[in-house]
Amino acid sequence: MKIYKVVPLMAILFSACESQLDLSPVTNLTNATYYKTADDAKAALGACYAVISNPDPNLDITTTDDAIPFLTGAADRPLLWRYDLTPSNSLISSYASSYSGINRSNIVIDRLPGITMDEELKKRYIAEARFLRALHYFTLVQYYGDVPIVTKETSSLDGLEIERSPAAKVYDLIESDLKEAEAVLPKTYPASESGRATQGAAKGILARLYLYRAGTTQSSPFWAQAATKAKEVMDLGVYDLHANFADAFALTARGGKENIFEVQYLTDVRGHSLGRGFGVRSAPIYPGGGAGIARPTASLFNLYTEADKRKAVTFITSYVYNNVTTTLSITDPDFTKAISFQKLWDKSAKTNGGEGTSRPVLRYADVLLMYAEALNETNNGPNAEAYTALNKVRIRAGLTPLAGLTYESFKEAVWLERRLELTFENNRRFDLIRTGRLIQAVKAENSFNRNALIQPYHVLLPIPQNDMDVNPKLVQNPGYK
């Protein structure tokens, strides 16, 4: 109650003395008082890493043939799964967050040149910001196609209404940023700085970019570029596969030899929720109980042979609680009995959503498979190097090496291996789109009465309605209302 008696007096005092006060903020940071020191530069770059673009797995697994969402509760998930898709669906909202990340990168790129600090460190920070900006734009162009290009810091409400640029120009910007980054970034960092963008990360994402741009055109020059960049990553001598597939996702693997770039978390401090979230619904083995957001399809689960060591790492098929074993099913419609994803489950987490396992953005296995696919395309069939790269992934999984394949059968073998190896890592949708197989794959996966309404225009998501509303110069993608 005493607070209310003080407030009027304070108002009178401030009113009487206002003309004599220096009203510049003392404790609040502004653009005028910040971006002055090396510590400011480091903090600004840290803010870029805090919003790394790594979308909700729902956008990957439930828009493809890999998963079925829990069919009650949040209505937007089954609508996304069935391609009954509108610009108001909440699960397509990565558009605004990507531009938030882009603006943070733009701030570093624009502001750091004016800071007096170690010049080599400054160049590295700017290169890291360019790499992160490229990641955001790559996410945007893959999901939405043509998008506005913003390369300067947004410092006011002026000039926010920007038209979409052609996807080809967005790709050019991504390529430019990554090339500038790879020329500056180091091969490795001390353990205390694990998780930062490296030269290998820039080269690897460039390989992915070229693979995506090559699409279904066998004669595309991007195939050779993809092979070159993937080989450059391999030749760095920094990366390799863990002997055991499970070790690639272990807590001890953070910053390890297989994770070229990853989003790092800290158990029970700043975790993700992917273990519990995509775990067995209501199962008491997770803090707070499993959420069961989505379950794997039988068509995915049954692709793994019993010899494939990745199967037990990727899926949970039973669990024990209070000495009682619960066996799970791939077909039972009861989500509390559904085989579920466990690839990124941190079993040591004690808090709801506290998992600290890293979320992979680019693993060495991905680079090997990109290299194998690109060589097959450039040579109109697999050569010895292509087999070596593909079989390195297969042998680690406990599978027999392949040999004697045609151009077509080798390509399909790589596609299959990518699905089995990279499940739940935000790759399936983009692989299906770039190879022209999305519609076919979605229509073929009709379990649980999916009856997807997918059309050719669905290879792009709609621009979220909120973003359309705030920028009248945006034109919605064809097919959406």
* Measured CA angle at 65 (ends 283, 355), to 5 deg: 35
Report H helices in 145-293.
167-182, 199-214, 222-235, 274-277
The rounded distance, in Å, linking the Cα atoms of 2 and 333 is 60
- Give Dmax (Cα) for the chain: 90
pLDDT, tens digit, for every residue of 252-280? 988 899 999 999 999 999 999 999 999 99
Q: What percent of the chain has pLDDT over 90?
A: 86
pLDDT, tens digit, for every residue of 25-73? 434 455 656 789 999 999 999 999 999 866 788 899 999 999 999 987 7
Given pLDDT bands bounded at 50, 70 and 90, which one contains residue 14?
very low
Residue 285's CB is within 10 A of a number of other CB atoms, namely: 17
Which sign, positive or negative, has the C-alpha torsion 376, 382, 387, 393?
Answer: positive
The two three-digit tokens of residue 62, written as one number = 């439930």
**Which residues on neighbouring strands pair with residue 101, listed in sequence order?**
none
pLDDT, tens digit, for every residue of 180-190? 999 999 999 99
DSSP 8-state symbol, 243: S
Residue 7 has pLDDT above 50, yes or no: no
Residue 351 lies in a domain: yes
pLDDT score recorded for residue 68:
97
The two three-digit tokens of residue 127, written as one number = 């290169």
Which single residue is written with the structure tokens 């229509």? 443
Mean pLDDT value of segment 342-350 = 97
**pTM of the entire structure?**
0.92
Mean pLDDT value of segment 120-141 = 98
The two three-digit tokens of residue 170, written as one number = 């967005």
**Nearest alpha-carbon partner for 101 in 169, 44, 60, 184:** 44
The rounded distance, in Å, linking the Cα atoms of 55 and 57 is 6
pLDDT score recorded for residue 53:
67
Enclosing domain of residue 293: 274-357
Residue 41 lies in a domain: no
- What is the average pLDDT value for the chain, to the nearest integer? 92
The rounded distance, in Å, linking the Cα atoms of 300 and 156 is 48
Residue 280 lies in a domain: yes
Which sign, positive or negative, has the C-alpha torsion 19, 22, 28, 32?
Answer: positive
- Amino acid symbol at 115: I
Question: Using an 8 Å Cβ cutoff, are 177 and 130 in contact?
Answer: yes
Residue 400 lies in a domain: no
pLDDT, tens digit, for every residue of 68-80? 999 877 789 999 9
Residue 21 lies in a domain: no
How many domains, in total, are found in the chain?
1
DSSP, collapsed to helix, strand or coil, labels residue 261 as strand
**Which residues on neighbouring strands pair with residue 53, listed in sequence order?**
none
* Measured CA angle at 276 (ends 274, 278), to 5 deg: 60
The two three-digit tokens of residue 176, written as one number = 């430019």
pLDDT score recorded for residue 30:
56
Which single residue is written with the structure tokens 């800071």? 115
H or E segment and range at residue 139: helix 119-144
Residue 315 lies in a domain: yes
Question: Using an 8 Å Cβ cutoff, are 356 and 365 in contact?
Answer: no
Which sign, positive or negative, has the C-alpha torsion 261, 265, 267, 273?
Answer: negative
Residue 349 lies in a domain: yes
How, if at all, do strands 315-316 and 67-69 pair?
unpaired
Residue 93's CB is within 10 A of a number of other CB atoms, namely: 18
Residue 436's CB is within 10 A of a number of other CB atoms, namely: 11
Residue 9 has pLDDT above 50, yes or no: no
Residue 414 lies in a domain: no
The rounded distance, in Å, linking the Cα atoms of 99 and 140 is 9
pLDDT, tens digit, for every residue of 280-313? 999 999 999 999 999 999 999 999 999 999 999 9
Question: Using an 8 Å Cβ cutoff, are 477 and 461 in contact?
Answer: yes
